[in-house]
A and B are shown apart, each in its own frame.
Chain A
Amino acid sequence: MAINGIHRIFSRFVKIKPSELKISILLFFYLFLVIAAYNVVKPIRNASLLEELGYELLPLVYLLTAVIIGFVVALHSRIQVKFSRYTLITVSILFFLISCFVFRIFSGLGWKGLPVIFWVWANIFIIVLNTQFWITVNDILNPREFKRLSGFFISGGILGGFMGGVLAGLLAKENVDYNLLFLSAGLLTLCALFVYLIFRWQKREHPVEAKAKKSEEDKGETTSKPGFRDSFNTVKKNKYLRLIAAIVVLTLVVSTLIDFQWNTVVKETIEGDLTSFFGYFNAGLMVFAFLLSILMTSNLFKRYGVRISLLLYPLVLMLCFSGIGIFASLIAAIIIKGSDKSLAYTINRSARELLFIPVSPELKYKAIVFIDMFVDRFSKGIGAVLLLVILSFGIKDYKELVRIVSLVSVVLIFGWIVLTLRASREYVNSVKQKLSRKWERADQVVEEELDLDYTKLIFDTLESKDRSPDLYAMYLFDLMKHGKLTPEIKQLLSDKPEKTAPPSFEAFFETDSTALIRMSDEYNNENVLNKEIKDIMSLDIYEDVMMKYIEKILSEKRNDAETDKMEVAKGIGFLSADSPMVNKLEEFLMDDSLEVRKLAIESMSKIRKREHVPALIQSLGDSWTQSDATMALEKYGAKITGILADYLGDPEEKVELRKAVAPILAHIGNQEAADFILSEMAKDKGEIDSELIDALDRIRSGAPEIEFSFETIKKKIRQEIMSYYELFVRFVDAESKGKEAEISGIMSHELKVSMMNIFKLLGLIYPHEDIVKAFQNIQTGTKDSVAYAVELLDNTLEKEIREAILPIVEDLSQEDRVKACVGLRKDFPEF
């Protein structure tokens, strides 16, 4: 009840699901306490250094910090592969907590070097604990959760910064009050408690993932050589990580340049109480950043995706640089500094950490430590060097100086934008890599992996042994003709002696099958048998004799005529298309015996006479002969595309027949076939839509070069989504009213079909493989793989389609999904 109440309050600001409330609050306070503890330490750091040693030592302290951070990265990299994440973080917090006491004790000794050590320690404090916080977030959240929740816990950090600063101000009794370290230690103790609660939550809620991460950590211990170089090499060798590192470098160099412009303009334009000005400015900035974080971050990700979210920061800064470059006024400086700090702490931090989420764990943790700890500090050093270079030109006018810095910054931002575009592409690729294809199209697998004709031939041959020696001989000839009468097949056939084998064939399959082998070898090699049979069948006299026999057989009404008819139906298949006997096949196709009809179809498929096509198409309407007729028609290939299309589009024809035509056109799979199917689909009759969509999907799977009308597909996607919404609302309604399980079972099946249709249609106009992966993972994946699949869709589909589809695939409660479906039905995005 209490949780529901809290959730209701939170859900007004942030899209937190009830199940995520606890972890979101825990992460919120984790970051809150880290930043609060640091902001208590920070004034002591600044005051002790300035009071006791003065500004002059600042550059040296910066340099020392950068060098020592390098060692910290090395040490952290080594430790992190030896201990669990929880132990590492707890020990780190404990280390900084104990250090607070140690510094308090040493502060009373009046040692001159203490402020420098304290400065470096304070910087390591925030870098290590902040990086560990983001590693924890990476461990726990998938991209979808991160996008929704990061704004919330970042606002916790901002609030922590504000609270820490206020507390330090209120509680400080003297200029440099080391007693505040007790407050910081207290906050760190609370922080350790929250870390414990977070890892306990993870163990309870996601035992499998927690175990997997533990095993990844164990694996890391045995396979890598940890250290600074290892972390550096990890980033160096990976294109995506290099891009992230490069973006971080440019971001921080630009930020350093902004800081310089800000300080310069403030110093030149404000007279009097600078402390008060900075105080008001920072307080205002905190409030702005807090609101930005809690209200905008999640929505920005949701509405505009990763790319725009990443680009927002450099684009805003570019505008600001233009402003300050032209005016060089205090207002311009406030705007650029305010934009920089508020965006850097909020949207940019979220976007930057989001980029790490799809990276594989063995790379990710080394990379985060290296980039967030080392590159972060190193980049500020580069910024400082760049400034020194600019200052070396001896420009006296501050406005001129600000303009030149703006110009340099704009050039850097261009590079930053290019890298951001590339990184966002690579981000999508990384998301794709997290998804595996779970299965292939069954018909494609069968087609690629199996020789269906051959398999059928083997089985039919075996069956024919019991049926009739003549039929058996014909099948053997078929096998010989296709070079398939291999020793293995001979062995297989001889394993089962035929009941009615004629004398001539007995010898073939005796233990010593040399006779057959000799014969088949002779026939296979010289094609003699084929030629002989062809010659005989082309004789006029043969035609006369056999025609009479066929007519006689066709008129037979006796029950035992079935085998005779089967033999003839099969035998006609060896004739040439111009033989008049071939025309008799249609009569066999009307025989009462299924076996006769099937053999007639088989013969038609061998002869491939265009005149037989209508009869074969009609056989598609009979479920007993449908699969044989399908195989036969598929063998005709593209030359019957037109006639198939006629049947497909003929509303007078049986629906079952039309449904069966679609996959044959898909098998033909050329542009013409695709166009016919598409134009049929565009008629919006609905009754064979699933078959048409499946046929198009099959064409797309086999021939990516085939083009589909974007507009027609989009229109169909729209219809399918609308029908999904409607079906879903009805389904939930039926379930809630306790309607019969059968009804909801049917609806559930219809929903699945509808969802499949939507994705098949999407696959026609978007990268097919990506859409298939997304669909399969949404259907059968784990919570995380579903999230990655949705993230892939989020980054692949255009905005309007995305807005219509995501609510039906996102991990939502049934209630929320119904709401979304009802809402979208009324206000469907135009596309």
Chain B
Amino acid sequence: MEIHAREKDNIVIFDIEGEIRRSDVTDVTLHQLVKDQLDVGKRNILLNFNDVEFIDSFGVGEILASYISTHNLGGKLKIAKISKKLYLVFQVTMLTKVLEIFDEEELALDSFMGD
């Protein structure tokens, strides 16, 4: 898994590539990266899943941990471009009720403006 961070209109966008799974843990986890951004005062986080091939429960845990950390600090964590399959999983697990998920990055970025 590779995670690249970029910033647009004060929104930190994490472009995630590859698979987010327990067996493929990198030195720094997604949650840690989000926390780092929160530590430097960023409050709007967008996770771009466009190039994510697979995500397991560990990955979902990372997303949720990131969501909690952001939310507890009054920030917003949103998700863009997740696969149909992952969306289905999120729907069944009711995570779509908690997480804001968008088809396109642009739409997600626009939503931050409206908050």
- State the A residues within 8 Å of B (CB): 469-470, 473-474, 476-477, 502-505, 507-508, 515, 519, 529, 532-533, 535-539, 541-542, 544-546, 549, 553, 564, 567-568, 571, 574
CA distance A544 to B67 in the complex (A): 11
CA distance A333 to B93 in the complex (A): 98
1/0 per residue B81-94: CB within 8 Å of A?
01111011101111
> Please, which residues of chain A bring their CB within 8 A of the CB of B61?
536, 539, 541-542
Given A505-B87, A542-B93, 20 new contacts (CB under 8 A): A470-B96, A474-B92, A476-B88, A477-B91, A504-B82, A505-B88, A519-B85, A533-B89, A533-B93, A536-B60, A536-B95, A537-B93, A539-B57, A542-B61, A545-B68, A545-B95, A549-B98, A567-B94, A567-B97, A574-B93
Q: Bound state CA distance, A628 and B94, in angstroms?
A: 23
Residues of chain A within 8 A (CB-CB) of B85 are 519
Partner of B94, one of A470, A502, A508, A529: A470
A536 x B93 contact (CB < 8 A) = yes
User: Given A529-B88, A545-B67, A536–B97 Cβ distance below 8 Å?
Assistant: no
Bound together, the chains give a CA A549 to CA B87 distance in angstroms of 19
Write the nearest CB–CB distance from B108 to chain A, whole angstroms: 13
**Interchain CB contact under 8 A, B84 and A508:** yes
| Interfacial chain B residues near A502, Cβ < 8 Å | 87, 91
Residue of A474, A529, A545, A564 near B64 (CB, 8 A) is A545
Interface residues on B, range: 20 to 34
Name the residue on A nearest B85 (C-beta). Answer: A519
Quick one: CB contact mask for B28-69 with A, threshold 8 Å, 1 for yes?
A: 000000000000000000000000000011001100110110
Question: Is B100 interfacial (CB-CB < 8 Å)?
Answer: no
Residue of B nearest to A535 (CB): B57
CA distance A580 to B70 in the complex (A): 24
Q: Are B87 and A539 in contact (CB under 8 A)?
A: no
Which chain B residues have a beta carbon within 8 Å of chain A's beta carbons? 56-57, 60-61, 64-65, 67-68, 82-85, 87-89, 91-98, 103
Which residues of chain B come closer than 8 Å to A508, judged between CB atoms?
84
Point out the residues of chain A lying under 8 angstroms from B95, CB to CB.
536, 542, 545
Q: Is the CB of A477 within 8 A of B88?
A: yes
Q: What residues of chain B lie closer than 8 Å to A519, measured between beta carbons?
A: 84-85, 88
Enumerate chain B residues within 8 angstroms of A535, measured Cβ to Cβ.
Answer: 56-57, 60
Bound CA–CA A48/B85 (angstroms): 109
Q: Are B57 and A532 neighbours in the complex by a CB distance under 8 Å? A: yes
Q: Which of A504, A529, A567 contacts B84 (CB 8 A)?
A: A504
Closest chain-A Cβ to B53's Cβ sits at a distance in Å of 14
Given A502-B87, A536-B60, A541-B65: A564 in contact with B103 (beta carbons within 8 A): no
Smallest CB separation, A481 vs chain B (Å): 9
Chain B residue at minimal CB-CB distance from A506: B84
**In whole angstroms, what is the CA distance A350 to B38 when docked?**
105
| Contact B57–A473 (Cβ < 8 Å) | no
The reply to whether B84 and A505 contact each other, CB–CB distance below 8 Å, is: yes
23 residue pairs A–B, Cβ–Cβ below 8 Å: A470-B91, A470-B96, A473-B87, A504-B84, A504-B87, A505-B84, A507-B84, A515-B84, A519-B85, A529-B92, A533-B92, A535-B60, A536-B93, A537-B93, A541-B68, A542-B60, A542-B61, A545-B67, A545-B68, A545-B98, A546-B98, A568-B97, A571-B93
Alpha-carbon distance A505/B82, docked complex (angstroms): 12
* Known A476-B88, A477-B92, A519-B88: A549·B68 in contact at CB below 8 Å: no
- Complex Cα distance A502/B82, Å? 12
A503 and B92: CB pair below 8 A?
A: no
